[in-house]
Amino acid sequence: MKTLRPVFGDADLSKAIRLGAVLVGLNILDARLTEVAVRLGSYELNPLLGAGFGSSIPFKGLGAAAIALTLVVFKRGRLLKPLNLGMLLVCAWNGLAIWSWYRGSS
């Protein structure tokens, strides 16, 4: 008879939770940076989100949490690292754009 193994060991689950929390945090940061950029005259580049949802902190946070949870439940938690890297690059790009607009306007 086969023994039932837990889906994740303690270390894997802890790591997945941390990576999921980072994904949620980066998405919230992206929403805030997008809101600032839109107020400065820019627009949301993501055609799926548009101007209405791109800067919605609850929408982005809950969406990221749902994605992270889905990846963990379906044993695809390893995909959280590249997703976090991608969101980090998006946030860096947004921050650099806002910084350059402020710098150019002074």
Res 4: pLDDT: 46
How does pLDDT run across 16-69, given as a tens digit for each residue? 999 999 999 999 999 999 888 888 877 777 777 665 665 688 988 999 999 999
Measure the CA–CA gap between 30 and 27, rounded to whole angstroms: 5
Contact 63, 7 (CB under 8 A): no
Higher pLDDT among residues 100 and 4, named by residue: 100
Measure the CA–CA gap between 94 and 17, rounded to whole angstroms: 26
Measure the CA–CA gap between 99 and 93, rounded to whole angstroms: 10
| pTM of full prediction above 0.75 | yes
Buried b / exposed e along 44-77 (16+ C-beta atoms within 10 A): beeeebeeebbbeeeebbebbeebbeebbeeeeb
Taking every pair of C-alpha atoms in the chain, what is the biggest distance, in angstroms?
Answer: 73
User: What is the three-class DSSP state of 56?
Assistant: coil
* 90 pLDDT above the threshold of 90: yes
Cα angle: 88, vertex 67, 58; to 5 degrees: 75
